[in-house]
Structure 1
Amino acid sequence: MLTKTESEQRIARLQDGLRGQGIDGALFIYPIDIYYFSGTRQNSALFVPAEGKPRLMVRKSYFRAQAESVIDDTRPFPSSKEFASQFPPKAKRIGFTFDVAPVQQYQYYAKLLPGVEFVDVSPLNRELRSVKSELELERMRESGARLCGVFKEVPGFLKEGMRELDLAAEFEYRLRKAGGEGFVRMRAYNQELFQGLAVSAGAGNPGFFDGAVTGRGLSNASPHGASIDAIEANVPVLVDYTGVFDGYIVDMTRMFVVGRLAPELQRAFDTSLRIQQHLTENLKPGAVCEDLFAQAADIAESAGLARNFMGAPGENAKFVGHGVGLELDEFPVLAQGFKSQLRAGQTIAIEPKFVLPGLGVIGIENTFAVAPDGGVKITDLPDDIAFV
């Protein structure tokens, strides 16, 4: 639960950023942004002035928002005629999250606030949210512990001949029983994910999802994740799941094999571990994101696996790590062209994976916190392949 003190600290940092950019305030309409600052995910709009107290205007449920919100000025959403009066007259440049706000909503609020210039505060918002407080880190550690608890159970129910879908269902059942909320929020347009994926022979199928592994899925309308294909002996099984608890997401992958693993796959897995180890040691404040990606790619190339790194040849994803928190695709991103420097308290899922057509998919993924001495592992479970 968000405390009033933590909310005030988040809002103060936002206000510093607004003033630094000459913006008079910010209007948030995206639910998870509102939750981050207010502690409630109810249908509402949050206005944060560059100076002064924020105001939360609630459509539904106002009664629940009253109980949950730590914003002192929490009130019912005003009528269209009264909306402009909720803003200070001097607020002429107002921030808006262009990255997630539909054009229809932009036009709606522009009509309610004539004469106001809306400016994009998406980068500012995402940078602020990327650095986790100790309260957030504690919640992510708890999410990691619960997710690891489910992963530990996999060798007990993974069997040769079971469908990928059955493996996924068993995992998801236990994850839900552990309190997993299931809502894997993503900011990117046209991306979606149902908790995670458990895939084997069809793991290397290319697809829309912006990641190294997609899976076959269940239909053309749902072309991601587990399929009805049977799990075969001596074929690697990749289990990649998110754990979402109290809104906070951690992301991890572990490998399982019924039988033996081909030497080429074992070599690729060992390369994944080397990449992860290198990145973990360098996950320090000041490290440049694109440099870390380039270093990971160099390790893959030196192992003769460059064309298989982070996807099937020709379908390679151009990243090796992504920020996680209240969303699966937060800042920072260890990716080509991402020139920002790491900051202490950022949380990143590092996922070096390889797709070897005809053999299978293999790799590792863990969530880490950026710290002065290198990454601190949040999904604290041994990385070894589990042979069943």
Structure 2
Amino acid sequence: MSNVEKIKQLERELATEGIDTLLILSREDSDKVLPLLLPVHVVAQTAFFFNRNGRHIVLTGSTDANMYKPFGLFEIIEVVEDFETDFLATFNRINPRSVALNISETDYLADGLTLGQYRLLESIIGGERLAALEKSSEPIVRTLRAIKSEQELTCIRHAVDVTCTIYEEIAPNIRIGMSETDIGALFVEGMKRHNVINAFAEPYSYPLVCINRCGLAHRQPSSRNILMEGDILICDFSVSHQGYCSDIARSFYALGKGESQAPQPILRAFQTTVNAVSAVIEGLKPGLMGYEADLLGRSLIEQAGYPTIRHSVGHQVGMRVHDGGTSLSPSSNPNSHYAIQKGEVYAIEPTVIQDDGKPSFIVEEDVLITDDGVQILSKRQMDLWYIAR
């Protein structure tokens, strides 16, 4: 995806932060931030000068130079003598007063500059000069990843729609007597049918498929775990479409002989989970702090008498399933001390999780933050889905 919108957004963020240039040094796709801006496979030693004045420059080898021409965004400089000489000449011509580098101690998604590339930069322009100019790109990258462009939202919406469709297609085909891997295979068939891939692990790997009785955790489905009457089944499924993800979980109950619905303790745990999801969705709005959003779901589950949630109530979704930025977590998490912003996409998942096979549920929905609340992107699960023989 050639995301001109993201590069224009980057220019605005550079202006907001008072930084002249975001400098990205990359070789063999070593930088984590570049894919957010350009869909390129970097081979040669390359320097990208993203300047807030909109006059962007790429310095690269002759093998890579042609792939930047179709974008129409760059002055392209091919290395003639050696990279170091041409870099210094370009850097001196730009003469930035401040330079953002992809270095961060707290956000791995803003920490793309390798030590070797940093040392190369230091050797070219000098340690003292670099120290006087360099800034962390973390605040810029955080906002750049978090606030989605219309092009990004189109991809995310498609990923979410396909995920919901696959759930709807396979739900009637889940049967008592199937193994976790049998159920996982239904998801793989759905991904192939809809031309998407798993956003976790390998392209056609199984999603999380857990029979509660066999242990609820982020683990691989097992062919030895067989769905039986009275079991709770939880599936957590994420797909990727054109590099952007969904993250949606659904919960099922396998009806026993003579049952038309689940027993009351199971229904109560499920309804508490749904109510907690609703509480978070209804309370989300721009300006709310991440830890405040976390408390909306966490407190409801605790007040219902269930154990506190073992993870965040929600997280951002984008190019990755867990896309960094503001986290809807307790205040002990530093990433919860940021305000929610319009244009962010979150997966909302307050859960009832209990040990020893007691009723546990995950219901996860994807939402977009709007001017004064949220737009729900996924088709909500409001009722427990039943499985019959």
Q: TM-score range by the shorter chain?
A: 0.7 to 0.9
Aligned match for 1:140, one of 156, 162, 173: 156
The reply to whether residue 164 of structure 1 matches residue 180 of structure 2 is yes
Task: Say what the alpha-carbon RMSD is for the aligned residues.
Answer: 3.0
Residues 1:230 and 1:343: Cα distance change in structure 2 (over 3 Å): same
CA distance in 1, matches of 2:222, 2:125: 47
The reply to whether residue 326 of structure 1 matches residue 319 of structure 2 is yes
How many correspondences in the alignment? 355
CA distance in 1, matches of 2:223, 2:360: 15
Is the contact made by 2:3 and 2:38 (CA closer than 8 Å) also made in structure 1?
Answer: no
**3-state SS of the aligned residue for 2:92?**
coil
Residues 1:299 and 1:138: Cα distance change in structure 2 (over 3 Å): same
Matches within 5 A, 1:30-109: 31=31, 33-43=33-43, 45-57=47-59, 62=64, 65-66=67-68, 69=71, 71-74=73-76, 79-88=83-92, 90-91=95-96, 93-98=98-103, 99=108, 100-101=111-112, 102-109=114-121
Aligned match for 1:245, one of 241, 244, 260: 241
Deviation of 1:370 after TM superposition, in Å, equals 0.8
Counterpart residue number, 1:220:
none
Q: Deviations over 1:106-144 (max 9, x none)?
A: 334433443423431123211232111233222221111
Deviation of 1:281 after TM superposition, in Å, equals 1.1
Aligned match for 1:336, one of 330, 337, 350: 330
Counterpart residue number, 2:210:
199
Deviation of 1:293 after TM superposition, in Å, equals 0.8
Deviation of 1:360 after TM superposition, in Å, equals 5.0
- In structure 2, list runs of 5 or more residues that go unmatched: 257-261
**3-state SS of the aligned residue for 2:33?**
helix
Counterpart residue number, 1:350:
348
Counterpart residue number, 2:281:
280
- In structure 1, list runs of 5 or more residues that go unmatched: 186-192, 206-212, 218-224, 311-315
For 1:304, the aligned partner's letter is G
Residues 1:28 and 1:11: Cα distance change in structure 2 (over 3 Å): farther
CA distance in 2, matches of 1:378, 1:353: 19
Runs of 4+ in 1 over 6 A off after TM superposition: none
Instruction: Flag the structure with larger Rg.
Output: 2
Residues 1:378 and 1:112: Cα distance change in structure 2 (over 3 Å): farther
Residues 1:85 and 1:229: Cα distance change in structure 2 (over 3 Å): farther
Counterpart residue number, 1:362:
361
Greater helix share, 1 or 2? 2
CA distance in 1, matches of 2:175, 2:271: 25
TM-score, normalised relative to structure 2: 0.80
Q: Deviations over 1:86-108 (max 9, x none)?
A: 32352364222223334344334
TM-score, normalised relative to structure 1: 0.80
Q: Deviations over 1:349-382 (max 9, x none)?
A: 0011122222353120011001234221112254
Q: Deviations over 1:258-281 (max 9, x none)?
A: 225443332121111111111111
CA distance in 2, matches of 1:352, 1:64: 48
**3-state SS of the aligned residue for 1:367?**
strand
